[in-house]
Amino acid sequence: MTTDIDGPPPQPEVNAHVASCVIRVSNLERSVTFYRDVFSCQVGLHDKDMALVLTPTGFQLYLHAQRSVRRRSAGTLGVSYLMWATDSQSDLDLITGRLRAYDPAVFTHTENGVTFLEGVDPDGRRIIVASPSPRQLPRTIIAERLRG
């Protein structure tokens, strides 16, 4: 990891954090069910084309159904996927089983002490769950698997 030693003086910190994201989906009900079943999300709001689902920690996922969804290519700029994390091996095992019900090709691998669970959501987007979380095991290098 590199740091900016000779850069401009530090600016005052702001108290802001990532609280939500919008995910375009092809089938709203199928996606709501997936996030509810796999990650124990609760439905906060539901309209005909959009739903707000809340993770157990309060992160907000806005699922937006669109009739024609263009697939993003691997090299497209922007957010590629959300990465989830847990510090509990039993939760990782539970998520593995739940995700496998939707994607039989789920697999795990370990790199630098971090286990990565990988699968896909109902629209074929990559889902990654890491254990332990960065809070429990701060990252010292970037996992090679995240590059591809």
Mean of the pLDDT values across residues 54-66? 96
* Count of C-beta atoms within a 10 Å radius of residue 95: 22
Residue 1 has pLDDT above 60, yes or no: no
Q: Is residue 82 scored above 60 in pLDDT?
A: yes
Domain-wise residue ranges, the chain: 19-67, 81-148
Residue of 109, 121, 99 whose CA lies nearest to 146: 109
Please name the CATH architecture into which domain 19-67 falls.
2-Layer Sandwich (3.30)
Whether 95 and 77 have beta carbons less than 8 Å apart is answered as no
What would the pLDDT profile of 2-24 be if each residue is shown by its tens digit?
556 677 888 898 889 899 999 99
Q: What is the pLDDT of residue 2?
A: 53
The answer to whether the predicted template modeling score (pTM) of the entire model surpasses 0.75 is yes
pLDDT given at position 72: 63
pLDDT for the residue 84: 97
> Is the confidence at residue 69, as pLDDT, over 70?
no
Residues in a beta bridge with 90: none
Q: What is the mean pLDDT of residues 54-80?
A: 82
Fold classification of 81-148 (topology level): 2,3-Dihydroxybiphenyl 1,2-Dioxygenase; domain 1 (3.10.180)
* pLDDT confidence of residue 73: 65
Across 11-113, the runs of DSSP E, i.e. the strands, are: 20-25, 42-46, 50-54, 60-65, 83-85, 107-111
Distance of alpha carbon 79 from alpha carbon 39, whole angstroms: 20
For the segment 87-104, what is each residue's pLDDT rounded down to a tens digit? 999 999 999 999 999 999
DSSP per-residue codes, 3-22: --SSSSPPPPP------EEE
Q: Are 24 and 81 in contact (CB under 8 A)?
A: no
